[in-house]
Structure 1
């Protein structure tokens, strides 16, 4: 069945969101697990709901699907309200496709029977749709096989074909690729998204893996403790995180602490502007290991500060590891003994104890207020304060 049969002409508009969650909350036994969640999906757009296990991602997906009702807020499909606290249309009334990590194929049905299960059209039309989809997912000629005769990747393709068969306006996917090995996962994932985009389907995909979200999504909704904390394109989310926790979710980060004075913060790596923060506020300078530069500590020709990399700070190698196409070097910094990490392309394996100087890309560093403002100043800060006195 075409989605327009269920949703009317509104679903055909490219300007109306296929799926909207407006101020959605969900409570369980008095505990709020989804809070004030607002999200919109446009036709042909892949949105990844990304966050750690237990943050409310799957609950949000079930509310969108109609498996659960919101405690507060509403769900709209193509502008039409399908759920609020007083009523909730069932999944079959929403033109949504569902894909889960366990595939959920019917073992007593062959491949053709599984794909055709949700179709209500005539026999000839049903057979044509099944044949079309099996060809699209690379399983032409598999009609009579049963799930137990298929590999994991083939089962995944059958599950995709079955979900696509009714031409859903929206596809909801709960970590559907997690059961596949890495090589097969990349192949199946890319093929699946190509098909969904070709169909103009709006996709909401739940994952806890940042790499998967970065690879798949047109838009990422970063979720934490039941709330969406940041929404944007993968590049934006990665390069402009909303806070330290958001930055750390995508990769390792280094953190240097400081205290605001006259709208700036002094650190071992030079001054950082901190406008909008009051004097005495604790701040965190956050930067990724891949945005660091290492140089040997040459006393006769010291590394000089630059506009791009700021002031270099000295440390000694605590550990160095080769990671395949890059090296990870950990330094114990002279100014406070803290461990900072640098990722260097290729092979770079200095011995433990080797003195090096570390500098960072200032344009890739982020300044955030420290969450715990009662934090005790570190040795560097005490050194700065004593020098000022």
Structure 2
């Protein structure tokens, strides 16, 4: 700090690579995107996750500049690129696009398709960049081929290389890996992220698959009916859902219905704490199948109640299936003939009709208004 009190070491905060403020978009009187705001830093991957029709792709298209918002602002590195008055053309936003309709130019070779977005550099430099990317997506052998000679998945990887070639500041990806078979998907997905992070590119990925979002994203913005209902790190979004629908979007869910009395919800599995819910309120107690504990019947009785697992409830096996790395067991519960699902690691296939006792991890349950 100098003699007049000015701190010369103070660093001006760096603006987000991409910032979206209060985006709105309606079609024929129906609001499709409703007050969307978020920011993405260089090298960060943010995923817009949600069911079909929730506004994910429309948000992406507005950022790309191929769709105009009704209101709201879009910034790149702190500079305005679009509001309702000013609009920078899509080709000047330094944004790469990878949409589901990844159409390649049929009259151009694979090499020329990838090089299409390279506007600077010598012919040799462009060729070197094309070869580098095709090598990384395992398509170098097709460099002089044409799109019609490739499978759908191979065409998609060429389109991905084309989008990466100009080293965009921001990459917008709308379910870009949906055309790849499972054998290739994980490898190509991971390699794509490696390339983008090496280039410090901010990535906005759109998907309806929770597993893909959890695997790829640094942050997840969960969308529903045009709004972001929850935004955070994948672990937090998964383990601290804002409501029953948010929890169920990531996995199967079991639900108990109960009424609150004295801040407690009474169920066949014992009492559950329900702070903040007035007496008489109907609540849903929601928990995932992997948090159900299964015990064998001991002459008509089950395990004793515990503070951790509560009271055991009796059920009868209706169906058991091996799912590859776990087993799914469905029970018909004695208390109301409802179906309750439990998953068990590895192979566990009790016979239909087997009587068993179930308990629920108290710390893995969520209480929501019904």
TM-score (structure 1 length as normaliser): 0.88
* Mean CA deviation greater in 294-303 or 342-351: 294-303
Are the equivalent residues in 2 in contact too, given 1:106–1:114 (CA < 8 A)?
yes
Q: For 1:260 and 1:50, how far apart are their aligned partners in 2?
A: 33
The alignment partner of 1:109 has SS state of coil
- 1:32 lines up with 2:5 in the alignment: no
Deviation at 1:90, TM superposition (A): 1.9
The SS at the match of 1:223 is strand
Name 1:330's counterpart in structure 2: 330
Shift of 1:207: 0.6
Q: Does 1:231 align with 2:248?
A: no
Q: 2:91 & 2:13 partners in 1: Cα distance? A: 23
Shift of 1:350: 2.2
Instruction: Check whether the contact 1:256–1:267 (CA below 8 A) recurs between aligned residues.
Output: yes
Name the structure 2 match of 1:120.
Answer: 119
CA positional deviation for 1:209: 0.8
Matches within 5 A, 1:181-220: 181-220=181-220
In 1, distance between residues paired with 2:122 and 2:13? Answer: 32
**Structure 2 residue matching 1:335: 3-state secondary structure:** coil
Judged with a 3 Å threshold, the aligned counterparts in structure 2 of structure 1 residues 274 and 111 are, in CA distance, closer, same or farther, namely same
Structure 1 unaligned segments of length 5 or more: list them.
Answer: 1-12, 371-389
Superimposed CA distance per residue, residues 82-139 of structure 1 (whole angstroms, 9 cap, x where no aligned partner) = 1112232221111000012232211111122111111221433333333333344344
Mapped contact 1:14–1:43 kept (Cα < 8 A): no
Does the Cα contact within 8 Å between 1:14 and 1:42 map onto a contact in 2?
Answer: no
How many angstroms does 1:141 deviate by? Answer: 5.6
Q: Flag the 1:300–1:178 CA change in 2: closer, same or farther, 3 A.
A: closer
Instruction: Provide the residue aligned with 2:92 in structure 1.
Output: 93
Q: Matched residues in 2 for 1:266 and 1:275: separation?
A: 13
Cα displacement string for residues 164-217 of structure 1 (whole angstroms, at most 9, x for unaligned residues): 222110000111111111111222111111111111111111111111111111
Alignment of 1:1-389 (within 5 A): 15-124=14-123, 125-140=125-140, 142-299=142-299, 302-370=302-370
Task: Name the CA distance, whole Å, in 2 between partners of 1:300 and 1:154.
Answer: 59
Q: CA deviation at 1:307?
A: 2.2
Deviating above 6 A after TM superposition, structure 1's stretches of 4 or more consecutive aligned residues are none
- Matched with 1:383 is none
Question: Aligned partners of 2:337, 2:141: CA distance in 1, in Å?
Answer: 64
- Residue 263 of structure 1 contacts residue 273 of structure 1 at CA under 8 Å; is this kept in 2? yes
Q: Secondary structure at the match of 1:285?
A: strand
Equivalent residues, number: 358
Given the superposition, is the C-alpha separation of residues 14 and 299 from structure 1 closer, same or farther in structure 2, using an over 3 Å criterion?
farther
Q: 1:152 to 1:357 in 2, by over 3 A?
A: same
Alpha-carbon distance between aligned partners in 2 of 1:323 and 1:165, rounded to the nearest angstrom: 40
Residues 11-46 of structure 1: per-residue CA shift (max 9 Å, x gap): xx9942111111111011111001011111111111
**Residue 281 of structure 1: CA displacement?**
0.8
Alpha carbons of structure 1 residues 133 and 196: separation in structure 2 relative to 1, 3 Å: same
Q: In structure 2, what is the equivalent of residue 4 of structure 1?
A: none
Secondary structure of 2:286's partner? strand
State whether residues 302 and 312 of structure 2, in contact with CA within 8 Å, keep that contact through their aligned partners in structure 1. no
Once the 2 structures are TM-superposed, how far is the Cα of residue 345 of structure 1 from its aligned partner?
1.8
Alpha carbons 2:302, 2:357 under 8 Å: kept: no
> Is the 1:259–1:266 contact (alpha carbons within 8 Å) kept by the matching residues of 2?
yes
Q: Deviations over 1:355-382 (max 9, x none)?
A: 2111111111111111xxxxxxxxxxxx
Residue 351 (structure 1) shift = 2.5
Q: Give the stretch that moved more between structures: 132-141 or 201-210.
A: 132-141
SS in 2 for 1:88: coil
Deviates more, 1:180-189 or 1:44-53: 180-189
